[in-house]
Amino acid sequence: MYFQPEIETMPREELRKLQLERMRESLRNAYENVPLYRERFDAAGVTPDDLESLEDIAKFPFVVKQDMRDNYPFGMFARENADVARIHASSGTTGQATVVGHTANDLANWGDCFARGIAMVGGDENSTIQVSYGYGLFTGGLGAHAGGEAMGCTVIPTSSGNTKRQVQMLKDCKTDILACTPSYALLIADTAIEMGYDPATEFQISGGIFGAEPCSENMRQEIADKLGIQYCDAYGLSEIMGPGVAMECAERGGLHIAEDQFYCEIIDPETLEVLPDGEVGELVITTLTRECSPMIRYRTRDVTTINAEPCACGRTHRKIGRLLGRTDDMLIIRGVNVFPSQIEQVITEFPEIATQYQIILTMNGPLDHVELQVETEPDFPIDEVRRLEDLRNRLAAALKSNLQVAVDIKFVEPKTIARSEGKAKRVIDLRGENQ
Amino acid sequence: MISQLTVFLANEKGRLAAACRTLADADINMKALFIADTADFGIVRIFCDTPARAVEVLGQAGFRASLTPVIAVSVEDAPGTLADLLGFCQGASMNIEYGYCFCTADGKAVDVLKIEGDGAEAVLAEAGFAVLAPEEVYCVDPA
C-alpha cells in the first residue's frame, strides 16, 4: 500500500535524475536568496553550476545548527514574509531557539511525506488518526496532522497530555493509528491497562507512528505488543522539516528516506569525508524542494547508516538504519564515549526491570560517578533481598562489560522516575555543579 | 500460611512514615513491623489486619507492596523455645531465609519464619509445633 506509488517506487535512475534536477534548483534558491550560503559558496569557490552529479554535493560546505542560531530568526529564509505560511521553532533548551519557515508548498510536501508513513502502517482515507504529539512550535503535532489531512483521514487532534482522555478517545472514536513520541505511546498503553482495558485486543488501533526521541528495540516491542499494532518509526527534525523525512515500512529493515525531497549522505564526523553506504557515521541532509528554509548539507548530529539494498515492500528509496545515537547526546564518562541508547539496550535485556530509567551523573572527587535509577517490574518478588541484590549485580556486570564504565545501580520506588508526556529526560548531568 | 505484608521503600527520609500513615488512614492495625535495610533501599515486613487490602491501599498510594507467605509458630515466652524450633528445622534440612519474633500479651511468643520451598508448615505441625492460622494472628480479609 503506497500513498504516492509513482514517486515511492520510482526506478532508481529516474529518481536520481529527479534528485539532481531538484538539487540544482535548491542550491540556486539558497545561493541567490540566503546571504550565508552565498558567502560560504563563494569562500569555497563553488557555485550551483558546479553541480554535475549528485556526488558533486560533497564540494559544497556544511551548515550546522549554530548557523541557524547565529541567523535567528529569519536570516536563513529564502522567501519574503508574504510567501511564508508558517514558522516552527526548536525548543532552544540548549541555546538560542532555531526558527524554520514553511511556504504553502513546503507544508503540502510535508503532509505528503508523513502520509507515506500512514500508508506504511496500512492507513488510508478510511482511517482515523489520533495525533498525540504536542501541537505548537514543535513540529510533531502539526506535521502528523498535515499527514492525516493529506491522506484524507479523520484526524483527532488531541495533542499531548490528559492521558486518560487520550485513552478514552482511542477507545470511543475507534482510532486506527496513533502518532506521538514512543515514551508517550508507552504511557498511553500503560494508562489504558491501568484503566482496566486490554488495548491490544479491545481497541481498534492497528498502527502507530512514533518518533522525535530515541527508542530501544525492546521498548518498541513492548509498545507494539501492549497496543497490538504495527510500529512505524518516524524520523524527522525541525531544521529540515519535521517528522516524515524518513519512515519505516512493514519490512522493519530501516526507514525509507523521502528521497524525492531530501538527499542524504553519511560522513565521518571527524574527517568530514563522505562514507559509502552501509558505514556508520553522521547523517547529513540536503533539502531538494524546501522553498523557505533550504538546507544544504545540514549536519544532523544523528549517527546512523544508509542501506541501499532493495526493499521487499517495493519502495525504491534508500533507507536509514535505526539511530545509534546523537553526537550531541554522547556522554563522556571517565574518558569513555557512552550513548544513553546503549544503557537502555542493556536494561531492556532484563525483563525484571521496567523500561523507565534515569541516569544521574555527578563528580566523586575528580572522577565521574554514574548512578542508574531503575524500577523493578510489579511482579518482581521484592520480599527477597537476595534476588534484588543478585539482579543488581547482574545488571551492573552487564553494563560494565557493554560500556566499559562502572555504574552504580539504585532501585527506586514505582513511579519515582517521571513518565514523560513529551521527550523523556533520561540523563541528569550534575557534573558542572558544586556539590 | 500467614500473609505477611512486604513493602519496598527507598532509603529516603519520610518514606516509612508515609507508608505507615497510608495504612493508618485506611484504619489498618499493625501487629508487628520489621525492617531489612541495605545501602539504598529497605524491605519492610509487616503483620497487619486485612493484608490484601493493605497491599491495595499502598499500591494506590504509589508504594510497591506485596504479600509473602510465611510460617508463624506460637511458642512459650520462655528460654529455649526458639532454639528448639530452629534445632528441629536444622534436623529437617529446612533452609531459613529470614525470621523474626515477637511476644504477645498472653505470655506467649510468635516465631515467624520464611522457609525455602513448600511443605515446611505441614512438617512442623506434624512434629507438634503450634503453627498459627491467619485468623489467630490478624483479622483476615473478607472473602
Its domain, for residue A320, covers: 1-327
> Which range among A188-202, A208-222, A363-377 has the greatest average pLDDT?
A188-202
Does this model's pTM top 0.80? My answer is: no
Whether residue A150 lies inside any domain: the answer is yes
pLDDT, tens digit, 9 for 90 and up, residues A225-278: 999 999 999 999 999 999 999 999 999 989 999 999 999 999 988 789 999 998
Tell me the CATH number at A391. Answer: 3.30.300.30
Cβ within 8 Å, pair B97-A384:
yes
Q: Dump pLDDT digits (tens) for B98-135.
A: 999 999 888 999 999 999 988 999 999 999 999 999 99
- What is the maximal distance between C-alpha atoms in chain A? 72
User: Is B113 an interface residue toward A (CB < 8 Å)?
Assistant: no
Give the pLDDT confidence score for residue A91 in this predicted structure.
65
- Can you tell me the mean pLDDT for A134-151? 96
What's the confidence (pLDDT) of residue B132?
Answer: 95
Q: Would you say residue A340 has pLDDT above 60? A: yes
Helical pair A217-227 and A340-347, crossing angle rounded to 10 deg: 60
> Which of A278, A309, A327 lies at the terminal end of a domain, its last residue?
A327
**Does A289 share its domain with A344?**
no
Structure-model confidence comparison of residues A423 and B116, the more confident one: B116
Question: What is the predicted pLDDT for the residue at A386?
Answer: 87
> CA nearest B67 in A: which residue?
A383
Would you state the pLDDT for residue A247?
98
Residues A78 and A221 in one domain: yes
B68 touches chain A (CB under 8 A): yes
The helix/strand/coil state of A286 is strand
**pLDDT exceeds cutoff 90 at A332:** no
Homologous superfamily of B70-133 in CATH?
ACT domain (3.30.70.260)
State what percent of residues in chain A have pLDDT above 70.
Answer: 96
Considering the domain architecture, whether residues A302 and A352 belong to the same structural domain is answered as no
Q: What CATH number is given to the structural domain containing A63?
A: 3.40.50.12780
Least confident range from A94-98, A115-119, A186-190: namely: A94-98
Whether A17 and A83 map to the same domain: the answer is yes
B61, with CB counted inside 10 A (0-12, 13-18, 19+), is: middle
State mean pLDDT over A173-187: 96
Q: Do A160 and A208 contact (CB within 8 A), yes or no?
A: no
The rounded mean pLDDT for chain A is: 92
- Give percent of chain A above pLDDT 90: 74
Q: Answer yes or no: do B62 and A414 touch at CB < 8 A.
A: yes
CB within 8 Å: B10 and A416? yes
The pLDDT value given to residue A426 = 81
A172, A180, A214: which is closest to A197 by C-alpha? A172
Domain spans, chain B: 2-68, 70-133
Tell whether the model's pLDDT for residue A218 goes beyond 90: no
| Residues A348 and A233 reside in one and the same domain | no
Average pLDDT over residues A336-364: 84
The pLDDT of residue A417: 77
The three cell numbers of residue A197 are 482495558
Task: Give domain status of residue A435, yes or no.
Answer: no
The lowest-confidence range among A65-79, A91-105, B64-78 is: A91-105
A144, A285: one domain? yes
Higher pLDDT among residues A129 and B106, named by residue: A129
Mean pLDDT, residues A318-340 taken together = 79
Please report the sign of the dihedral spanned by the C-alpha atoms of residue A343, residue A348, residue A349, residue A351: positive
For residues A279 and A400, membership in a common domain is answered with no
Q: What is the pLDDT of residue A93?
A: 58
The burial of A351, by beta-carbon neighbours within 10 Å (0-12 exposed, 13-18 middle, 19 or more buried), is given as exposed
Q: How far is B23 from chain A (nearest CA, A)?
A: 17
A99 in any annotated domain:
yes
Given CATH 3.30.2130.10, say whether it is the number of domain B2-68.
yes
Domain-located, residue A393: yes
Nearest to A113 by CA among A258, A2, A210: A258
The reported pLDDT for the residue numbered A355 is: 80
The last residue of a domain, from among A267, A295, A327: A327
Residue-level pLDDT at A422? 56
Q: Which domain-ending residue is among A327, A361, A386?
A: A327
pLDDT at A435: 47
Q: Which of A371, A413, A416 to mutate to test the interface with B (most CBs of B within 10 A)?
A: A413
A89, burial (CB in 10 Å: exposed 0-12, middle 13-18, buried 19+):
middle
Cβ-defined contact of A383 to B41 (cutoff 8 Å): no
Which residues on chain A are in Cβ contact (under 8 Å) with B43? 382-383, 385
First and final CA of chain B: distance in angstroms?
Answer: 16
Q: How confident is the model at residue A420 (pLDDT cuts 50, 70, 90)?
A: low
| Contact in structure between B67 and B30 (CB atoms under 8 Å) | no
CA distance A176 to A172: 11
Checking if the pLDDT of A224 tops 90, the result is: yes
Closest CA to A146 of A88, A90, A81: A88
Is the same domain home to A128 and A239? yes
Q: B34 and B90 in contact (C-beta within 8 Å)?
A: no
Which residues of A lie inside 8 Å of B (Cβ-Cβ)? 376, 378, 381-386, 388-389, 410-416
Among all residues of chain A, which has the CA nearest to that of B43? A383
Contact B21/A at CB under 8 A: no
Taking CB atoms and an 8 Å cutoff, what residues of chain B touch A414?
62-64
Which chain B residue's Cα is nearest to A382?
A: B8
DSSP state string for B32-89: EEEEEE-SSEEEEEEEESSHHHHHHHHHHTT-EEEEEEEEEEEEESSTTHHHHHHHHH
What tens digit of pLDDT does each residue of A12-36 get?
A: 999 999 999 999 999 999 999 999 9
**Range of lowest pLDDT (A193-197, A320-324, B15-19, B133-137):** A320-324
**Rg from Cα positions in chain A:** 22
Per mean pLDDT, which range of A411-420, B7-16, B49-58, B93-102 is the poorest? A411-420
Q: Are residues A339 and A190 in the same domain?
A: no
Q: Closest residue of A to B6, CA-based?
A: A383
Q: Is B14 part of the contact surface with chain A (CB cutoff 8 Å)?
A: no
Residue A434 lies inside a defined structural domain of this protein: no
For residues A341 and A244, membership in a common domain is answered with no
pLDDT tens digits along A282-308: 999 999 999 999 999 999 999 888 999
| Contact between B8 and A385 using a beta-carbon 8 Å cutoff | no
Query: How many folded domains does chain A comprise?
Result: 2
